[in-house]
Structures are given as structure tokens and as C-alpha cells.
Structure 1
Amino acid sequence: MADTVGVLVSRHIFSDCIRDRTPYEVFPHYDQAARQVGLKPIFFTIEHVRLADRTVDGFTREPDGRYHQQRHPLPKVIHNRIKPAVFQMKYQLLRALPGLIIFNRDNRMDKWRVAQILEREPELKPHLPETFLYQQPVLQKMFDRFGACYIKPRNKSLGIGVCRLMHKNGAIWIEDAKGAKGEVPFNQLPAWIHKHIHAPVIVQQPISLLTINRRPVDFRVSVQKDGTGQWQVTGIVAKVGKENAVATNVAVGGKARRFDEVMVEAGFTKPASVREKMERVAVMAAKALEKSIPGMADLGLDLAIDEKGDIWIIEINGRDLRITFHQAGDLESWRRTFAAPMEYAAYLYRQPPAEKPGKPTVALITPGNLPVHGGKSGSVEIVARSWAKELGKNHHVLLLGNQVEEMADATALDLKAPVTQQYYKRVEQSLKFLKPDIIQVENRPLLLNRLAKAAPNAKKVLFVHSHTYLNPPYANRKALRKLLPRYDFILTNSRYMADCLKKEYPQIMHKLKEIWLGVDLHQFASIHDPSVRRRRIEERIRHQLNGRPVILYVGRIVPQKGLHLLIEAFKQVREVHPAAVLLIVGSSFYGRNVETGYLRKCRQLGREHGEQIRWWPHIPHQGLPAVYQLADVLVVPSVGKEAFGLVTVEGMATGLPILATQTGGIGELVENGVNGRLVSPGPGLSKRIAKVLVEWLNRPDQLKEMGKKSRIRAENYFGWSKGAKELSEIYHRLA
């Protein structure tokens, strides 16, 4: 009996598909290609799936062209063609089932995330338009440099919401993809975007596209994995927009045409050589994307050629609708776009079974109030995704949270909900169905009662990251004295935090252990590495920092972080080192640059220093390594009792000496007098900080040696693999 391959299609078009009435998803093409490689395709929607017994009420195509529905075991390999606009619990659970391979598991392509991934590849940089998250200052810079720019919704396609913006006489001239035009005062643009686009947007550099009779041209490139598991270009087709149009999409009035005829009409004498270059860029982009978004096998890239003949990557789509090839009359390429995924499915069946991660199965439960991935993650979310990545090498790991992205070594369950209680209900549903052996709760002790009902047989582990959720208004000690002993194990991120728990709840001492958090030693590369040092020099020159001592603060701008004391200390530092720069990176809230009274106070304190205090807004975690690499020293001036402090070990990994207050768990991280200095909190703290900084800046060679020792300490104690090994040992004991 032939192996089966699933084709998961949207319910909105399924009835047309089984009547062979739509060119978007052509079941006969899938069927023919699958049978040629020895597979039997089963067509279904998510509603046809029966998770309880791992079956599907799917449709197969008979030799006479009719479709027959019957119950089948879920195919081991499934080609995902859905792109849910709203949350679908069943699809999240389907993705989490062990033993299934779903390729193109997540077809949603966040334009900002894609831009960041591609930016990491040096070979692709010449092909990438400058792209930023929307902010008014960013917009002004774009106007100053290019005279115009584009804004695009991060998560939409088909040209929806794309607008061209030009700055004229203090106002913004806007034209959308459908040709509608209007004028908006510069300061009212955020409100206009909120009203008309209803989505977060990116700002992108304008490209002078190739044109034919003033009609812009770009190209859809189908990039798919083939029967050997390699990326290949299946076809390229041109899209020609209306005269002076903002976008070329057929959905907004463009026309699809064959590649060669458009290139000849545009005056290219050697279209084959241009095609070859486009194919090379497209395959490079697919490979780059796959590094961060595993499971991709079927992509649609929009590439452009500018007036100079340079190639640009405009956009990447996770679900190429294939229809563009049909509209251009390139029927051979159109058929091949259906065949390649079936050939790739056959390739997957031929591969030896992957070595399954060992037992026990572990579910990591994040709080749900902040995204696990993306620019607004907090430290708890960063830690959870880092544990998942490392633990997934030896365990089947489920990572549950808000905005969880695909991961290579862990199963992501994105349970995003508008309110926290709804998120917790989704967590309960997931645990009831997936039945993990171990459930680890990240920093929310009161979740135990919910989890006990959802998964009564699972061992429960609590990882305490801070005091916050052990105190009112979130919890009271009387309730915790009853609840904490019911956990099978309790972990903390520092000896300090463990000692606090032992003192308050002595009955849990026998099930308590501290495990230091970590840092990605590859991502946070050392400035003492020659290649990083070269890049550091280039970036310092670009930011006009070369030859100047740079003191760095990274963190939220809230009173307990002590930034005001560092600014006071900086005044004293400048008296001795007038060229020094204080670089402040962060915001008042996680990922949100909100003006608060404390922020205003800090700005007022620093006003006399002008440009020698640089205020940079919140930077997403993946962008922080480049920030640390600009600095000479990291200061952690906390006055509150922090349990750990990720920025400390990130600075150490980067090779910076650390000046920190000896408060909470931070004092455990720095080896006083070796890779940094610990100063006591309390009255006179700003003077103590200033004294150490002046001493260090007077001795740059000593500063450098301390930085090297910081890196060594990070490598010895703070790699994620060390903590993951300790966690794994605990899980095995519990299971």
C-alpha cells in the first residue's frame, strides 16, 4: 500500500477544490505528481482532522476524477497550505503531535522578522532595501535620504495596506496600492495608519523599479525544495503594475506576464544571465530563512530589478498562491509548483527516522503576557525559549506561550489570546491533550491549581525568576505556604533567590535548587575576537564613538534599575574624561517607549551633557550584541534586589568588564576584582560608581584584561548548555 501524503487546505476554498474549479489549489496536479513518486495524496481541511485517534476524514481522487471521502490514519508527512487569520487550537495541537512532519508549518511571514533574518547574511545585504519598524524619527530619516519611502503591514500580502509616502511642504502625500491618494500632516500620520491600515507597519527604502511605459515591474520567484531535499527555483514570472502604480500585484490591478517576453520588451539582450542571478539570490534567501524558520519548503519571493540592473528582495511569502504562473500563461511552471512539494514529501519518506529526543517529555509554560519571540519579550520569555532550544536536543520539548515562533529543536505552541485567562485555558487544553511527563511553570506559582486538573499525572516544576509573583498583589504568603510544597521541584536562578525561599518557606528546602541562567555565547560574541573587533571599530566610527570611552547601560528605565545614579556619576566621570560617552539603551516598559515621570527625571539629569549621553530606545534582544560591542564597560547600577540580571552575563560574554551593585543575585555573577567590580548600594552610590569608572578609564589595558576574563567566566559558567544539563538530570530523576 502506498504511503500517504497530506495536503492541508483552507476550508474556504475546499469545496471548489474537490470540484476542480479553482486554479489556486489544483488537486489533480498534486494527485498526478504524488502518484508518480509512489505516494497517495489525501486532501483535507483542519476541520476533517480527528486528533483524539490521529485520523482524518480526508478525500482521495479516484481514477475517474471523482473524490471519495473516508477515514484515514493521519499521513506522516503533510504539506500545509493554510494560513490561519485567527487562532486555531486544533492546528496548534496538530503541529505538536509527535511523529508528524508538517512542512511549511507556519506560512505567516512577518516582514520585519524576515528582514532581520536576511540582514544577518553578508552576501544578501546588497540585495536588501533598508527596512525599519515604523517610528516618526525613522520616517524623517528616510525622507531626508530618499525623498520618499514605503510603509507595509508586517503580516499582510497581495499589496494590501502598502502605501508610498512622500514629504511635501511639511505634509505627507500618501498613495496606496489601489491608487487612492491623499495628504496628511506629518504629526497625524500615526493616527492615519491606525485608522486605515489597522496593523503594525514597517518602513522601507523606495526602489527605482524597472519600468515598461512607466509601468513598474517586479518578479514572483517560486523557490521550493525538490525530490533531493534541495532548494530550487521552479519558475519566475513578471508582474507588471498599472502606470506609476505603488504595487504590481494582480489583486490591485497588475498583470502577470512571462519572464522572457517582459525582459526583452524592457531592453535586456541577455535575459538568461539576469534570470541566473535572480535564481542565485532567491535560493540564498531561502537557505537563510530556513536557518531561523525550520520546516520551510515552499516559498514565493518578490524580487525586483532597479534601473541600474541590481536585484532587490522586496518580500517573501510563506504560501505562494501559484496562480501568478497560470495568469501569465506559464502552465509548465504552474504545474511544477504543485509537483515539487509532492517530490519533496517522497524525499522525506526516504530519510531514515530521526533520532527521537529522549523521555521525559517536557512542557515549558511561559506567563503569556509578553511574546516569547519578537521585540517585546521579557527576560522570562528569553530564558524559556533558550532552555527550549537547548533541552530540545535531548528531550521532546513543548514551548507554550504568546507569539511562539517555529523552532528547530522544540515544538512551538502559539497560544496567543487577548486576555491572560483565555491564554491559561488554552494552556490547559493543550496539556490535557498532549500529556507531557514534566510541566515547568515559568515564574507564575499560582498556576499549579489549573495544571493539576489539566495534567494530574505530570510532575510539576516551578522556576522562580523574581520576587514579583511571590508577593501581593499577585500572591500572599499564607497561600504559598500551602501551594509551594505541592510542586515536585522548585528552581531558582540564583543562590540569593533560593536563600530567600528557604528563609520564608523552610518546608520546601529539600526540593529546591538554584540553576544559573545563561547566554548564547555565539550570538554575544567577544570583542576580543579579531573579526568582531574589526566590526566593532567600523560601527564605532559610524556612530562617531571611535577613540572615545563608551559606558553602557542596558535595561528598563525604572527607578529600581538605578539609572539616575549612573547619570549623576557620569557628571563626575566627565570632569576627568571629557570625551566619555554614556550610551543608554532601553525603555520604560517591555518593548514600548512610553514617557514616564522617572524617564523625564533621568533626561533632565542628563540634559547638561548634550550629545555625550546617547538615548537609544528599546532594541529587540537579537539586536543587542551589536550594542554591547560598541562599549568599553557595562554598568549595572541596580538598587532593587534583582534575582539575576541577564544583561550582566550578556556583557560578560561580549568581553566587557562589569561594574555592578552588590545587590540580590547580581553579586554572584561578577568575580569582584577579576572581571569587574562590585560596589555596595546605599547612600553615596553614585560617587562610588564614578570613582571606579574614572580609575578604569585611566587604565585602558587593565580594562581590556578584565574584559577578557569576563568572556572566560561566561564560557565557564553561563552557557545555556550547562544549565540545560542540570535541568535534564532533574527531569530524569522526577520521571
Structure 2
Amino acid sequence: MKVLMICTEKLPVPPVLGGAIQTYIEGILPFLKKEHDITVLGVSDPSLPDEETLDGIHYVRVPGKVFEIYRESVVRYIEAHPFDLIHIFNRPRLVLSVRQAAPLAKITLSMHNDMFHPEKMDPQEAENVIQEVSNIVTVSDYVGNVISDLYPQAAAKVRTIYSGVDTNRFLPGHHPKMQKIRQEIRRANGLENKTVILFAGRLSRNKGVDQLVRALPELAKKFKDLALVIIGSRWFSQNDINDYIAYVRALAKRLPVPVVTTGFVAPDEIQNWFAAADLFVCTSQWQEPLARVHYEAMAAGLPIVTTARGGNSEVIVPRENGLVVENPEDPNEFVAQIAQIISDRSLMKKMGEKGRELAVSRYEWNRVASELLDVWTHAQQAEHEQTHQEYAVEPLQQPTAVELEEADLNQEESKTEQKNKRKEKGRKRKGTLQADRPAKQEQNSAGEHVSASEPKRKKTLEEKQPNSPAAANHKSLVLSSSSYELPVFPRRKGKGSNDKPFRAFIIGK
């Protein structure tokens, strides 16, 4: 099957600049390409060619950055290149344009954020989108529930497929491949003999890292060996300083513990910082769909403290691989949950081990790809079933032998009755003529002798207009395998017309 995967307009694929969706696509492609002919359509980037084929996967990159421009580029490409199935990532507003450009393709949709909210999408357009797509894949139950609550008709199409992680790349710090890297990073940043708390994500109020910074003074009173590492920037590779980042750094300078701010870290290096840490904290303040850093922390064997916002807590088994902060607006709640873990080194170790176990057993990319392939297969099967229903014809119901025999008998009886009537009419007419005086004979136009007293017979409709539509209606029957009441037009108007609808069985196509 020829499949087109359409990424968002913000970041390119492969994830040279990072991005959860871009990382997701990169993770599942090695498994998808074994089953289908895959093309990935994404936004162009100066560091990447506009078109290339790598490891059997075709990449096409078009102008974008602004949604409307990107949509036009996507439509132009699809109009020139047919696909059996088109999978759109996190841009439901692309669906109707894609459908117009590819009326025969199946369309599936992956939702990584709440893009169906009325503030982001017109409700009527959303309903049309839901009708057009075969399936809606979500990264958490939270996202799926939001869509289904807004549009109940979508519920049957929604399916949660949790994201994944490369467990061969994200490894615990004590793993033989990571021990040296862990030591080097800790030594270079003054983190030796420290309990390192790690935050990784965009530096924004929604992500809320300032709440963690504000929690540290109280934690420092209880634990003397703490350190904080903040990985991230305002927007992925953009390391410029805005007001919020300046505020966070000002808070960090006043802390009694060392704070390392790395800025943007390239995707192929970030696993090293996870290996250097001891505890991961997600401070999200907004209803986050489910941050992928949770999977990376689990794979790296780190216990997790996260917030009860959006879908983040869906991957947490309380007191087994992490703890949940119910009110993330209160720094004291972070203090309480972080302290529970740090104060019990045995619990801390068990949580890290359990997280690693869950990452390997539940959250590897091969599982994600397998579930997505199931969705695609379902979409194709649904298409075949729909096509079968649209074009299926009920089998012909042929009349039984008894019905045929009865029809023959009725036909013979009708013929006999009509023959007898003609004979009787002839006898009456003959007697009448014999009683009259000899009639004067005339010749008609054909040279035949006719009686002058015999009234001239009116020509029938067939004789007057043998090819007229009315004559055709009078004489013809439509072939059918079923019984129909067929109207027979009278030969002449007035009393004495005994033509009635009759039942006929016609066998054949």
C-alpha cells in the first residue's frame, strides 16, 4: 500500500531540530517501511534536501512554517501523486483540503494535542473532518476523551496509542555504555556527589519549570547534596532569551544549590543528560496531552514526579515508577513528592528499575508501529466492506417450478377463453348477416370486396403509429426476475374496455 505521512509545518523530519511528533515519526518508520511504501511529507529546512530517499523511505519537504502556505504546498503535492492512505499528524485542518485533492484515499489522523477545541477549529469544520477520516489516533486517553466529549460521533473512531522510546539509546546511568558519559557530564558541570534533579522541556509558563525552582530552597533545607539541571529553550533550537527565561534564571541565581541551564540540546545528545541525572520532574501547568519526556525518563531508569494535568499521569503507576502532584501551582506539593523519593534511596532505586521495565515492556517503538499498522489495516478493511455494501446486489429470486407451472396453466386458460369468445362472437355475427338482405358489394382501395353496410373498423394504435411511445408501452414488458403489476393501456376509450393490470414472471437478465 502506498502511504503518505504528513507532518506538521513547524519542524522537519528527521527531527534535526527536535519535536515530539518528529521523534514519533522517526521512531516508527523502520517498522512501517517493512509493510508499506512510505513517503513522508514535511516542511523544508536549510539543513535538509527538498527530496531524498533514505533507507527505503521517501522524504519530500515543501515550503511552510505558516499553516496556510504549508497547506497549499501539501495539496499541490497530493494532486500530482496518488496514495492509497494518507496519515495526517496533528493538523485536522488539513483533512478537508487533502480529501478534495485525494477523493479516493483513506485518511487517518494522529492527534498529539487538543486541536479540535472550538477556539482552534470551527465546530462545523470539525464535524466534517470527523466524518471524512477513518480513524483518529491519540497519544493519551485524555486527548481522546476531549475529542469525544466535544464530538460524540467521533468516539467510535478514536483509539489511544501511547508513544514510545528507543530503549537502546536511552539507558540508565549505571549501564556499561553510559557510565563513562555520566561521569564526564557530572564532572564537567560540578555535579559530582550530587543528587541531580532533571527538567527537560520548553521554557514557558505552561511547562512551569519556575515552580520547581521555587521548590528548591525548601528542599535544600532537607537535603544538602541537591543540584538542578534545566534542559530546553524557548522554542526547540531557538536559544534567545525572553521575559520568562530571564525570570527563571534570576530565580535560579538565588538558589543555595547549583543550577545548570543547558539551553537547547540536540536530539542525538539529550539521552546523555538523562543518564547523568537521578530524578526526573515534569512541572506542566497546562492540560498537557502526555509529554514524551516521561518515556525517556523511564527508559533511562529515572523515578518520575509529574503533574495531574492532561495525560501525564497515565503512564505513572503511583509509588512504583513515580508520584503525581495534584496541584502543580503550589511549589510545596513538589517539595512533598520529591522529598518522598529522595529520602528513601531504596524506593528511589526501585522506582527507576520499574520505570525501565515498563519502558522495555510497553513503550518501545515496535509496539507503537504495530498498533498503527492495525489502524491502517482496519481503515482498508472498512473501505472494502463499504465498497461491497455499496455495490452488492441481492441475488435474483427466480420463480419456483410450481409458480412457473401455475403461470403456464393460467396463460393456457386465458388463451382458451379468448378463443372461445372469438368463436361465439363469430357465430352471432354470421347469423345477423344471413338475416339481412344481400349487401351491396364495394371494392376497397386494396381491391377487396366489402359490404357497404359493414361499418368501417377503426385502426388500432399499433396500426396507426407502430413506432410511437404509447404503442411501445402498450405492447412491451420490461424483463425482470420478480413479479410486477404491469399496466396495459386500453386500445380505445369508452365502455367495454376490460384491460386490467396483470401479473407476469419474466426470467432473464
Q: What TM-score do the two structures reach when normalised by structure 1?
A: 0.49
- Residue 11 of structure 2 is aligned with which of 355, 370, 375? 370
Q: Following superposition of structure 1 onto structure 2, how do residues 526-541 of structure 1 map, counting pairs within 5 Å?
A: 526-541=172-187
1:412-433 CA distance string (max 9 Å, x none): 1122447543433332233233
1:184-213 CA distance string (max 9 Å, x none): xxxxxxxxxxxxxxxxxxxxxxxxxxxxxx
1:722 maps to which residue?
367
Question: Is 1:395 aligned with 2:42?
Answer: no
2:87–2:107: 8 Å Cα contact kept in structure 1?
Answer: yes
Show structure 1 runs of 5+ residues with no match. 1-359
- Residue 462 of structure 1 is aligned with which of 105, 109, 126? 109
Shift of 1:513: 0.7
In structure 1, what is the Cα distance between the partners aligned to 2:172 and 2:213?
A: 27
1:560–1:639: 8 Å Cα contact kept in structure 2?
Answer: yes
Shift of 1:687: 1.0
2:324–2:337: 8 Å Cα contact kept in structure 1?
Answer: no
1:349-396 CA distance string (max 9 Å, x none): xxxxxxxxxxx2221101122222354332122222323233112221
1:396–1:410: 8 Å Cα contact kept in structure 2?
Answer: yes
2:342 maps to which residue?
697
Q: Are the structure 2 counterparts of residues 384 and 533 from structure 1 closer, same or farther at C-alpha, using a change threshold of 3 Å?
A: same
1:661-688 CA distance string (max 9 Å, x none): 12211111111110111120255x3112
3-state secondary structure, aligned to 2:98: helix
Q: Following superposition of structure 1 onto structure 2, how do residues 363-442 of structure 1 map, counting pairs within 5 Å?
A: 363-402=4-43, 403=45, 407-417=54-64, 419-442=66-89
Shift of 1:465: 0.6
- The code of the aligned residue for 1:701 comes to S
1:525-577 CA distance string (max 9 Å, x none): 23342332343233322332121110000000111112111111111111122
The higher-RCO structure (CA 8 Å, 6+ apart) is 2
- The code of the aligned residue for 2:95 comes to L
- Residue 489 of structure 1 is aligned with which of 132, 135, 144? 135
1:272-292 CA distance string (max 9 Å, x none): xxxxxxxxxxxxxxxxxxxxx
2:212–2:334: 8 Å Cα contact kept in structure 1?
Answer: yes
In structure 1, what is the Cα distance between the partners aligned to 2:56 and 2:166?
A: 16
Q: Following superposition of structure 1 onto structure 2, how do residues 566-715 of structure 1 map, counting pairs within 5 Å?
A: 566-609=212-255, 612-682=258-328, 685-715=330-360
In structure 2, what is the Cα distance between the partners aligned to 1:383 and 1:457?
A: 27
In structure 2, what is the Cα distance between the partners aligned to 1:406 and 1:482?
A: 34
1:450 maps to which residue?
97
Question: Is 1:521 aligned with 2:167?
Answer: yes
Q: Are the structure 2 counterparts of residues 472 and 610 from structure 1 closer, same or farther at C-alpha, using a change threshold of 3 Å?
A: farther
1:573-608 CA distance string (max 9 Å, x none): 111223311100111122212322222222222221
Show structure 2 runs of 5+ residues with no match. 381-509
Shift of 1:456: 1.1
Q: Are the structure 2 counterparts of residues 406 and 386 from structure 1 closer, same or farther at C-alpha, using a change threshold of 3 Å?
A: farther
- The code of the aligned residue for 1:686 comes to P
- The code of the aligned residue for 1:613 comes to V
3-state secondary structure, aligned to 1:364: strand
- The code of the aligned residue for 1:544 comes to G
In structure 1, what is the Cα distance between the partners aligned to 2:203 and 2:85?
A: 36
3-state secondary structure, aligned to 2:177: helix
3-state secondary structure, aligned to 1:426: helix
Shift of 1:514: 0.8
Shift of 1:484: 1.8
- The code of the aligned residue for 1:380 comes to I
Give me the CA root mean square deviation. Answer: 1.9
1:363–1:438: 8 Å Cα contact kept in structure 2?
Answer: yes
1:438–1:458: 8 Å Cα contact kept in structure 2?
Answer: yes
In structure 1, what is the Cα distance between the partners aligned to 2:301 and 2:328?
A: 28
1:554 maps to which residue?
200
- Residue 125 of structure 2 is aligned with which of 471, 479, 491? 479
How many aligned residue pairs are there? 374
1:24-54 CA distance string (max 9 Å, x none): xxxxxxxxxxxxxxxxxxxxxxxxxxxxxxx
In structure 1, what is the Cα distance between the partners aligned to 2:228 and 2:56?
A: 39
- The code of the aligned residue for 1:427 comes to V
Q: Following superposition of structure 1 onto structure 2, how do residues 24-43 of structure 1 map, counting pairs within 5 Å?
A: none
In structure 2, what is the Cα distance between the partners aligned to 1:662 and 1:392?
A: 36
3-state secondary structure, aligned to 2:254: helix
Larger Rg: 2
3-state secondary structure, aligned to 2:39: strand
In structure 1, what is the Cα distance between the partners aligned to 2:121 and 2:208?
A: 26
1:388–1:409: 8 Å Cα contact kept in structure 2?
Answer: no
In structure 1, what is the Cα distance between the partners aligned to 2:213 and 2:109?
A: 38
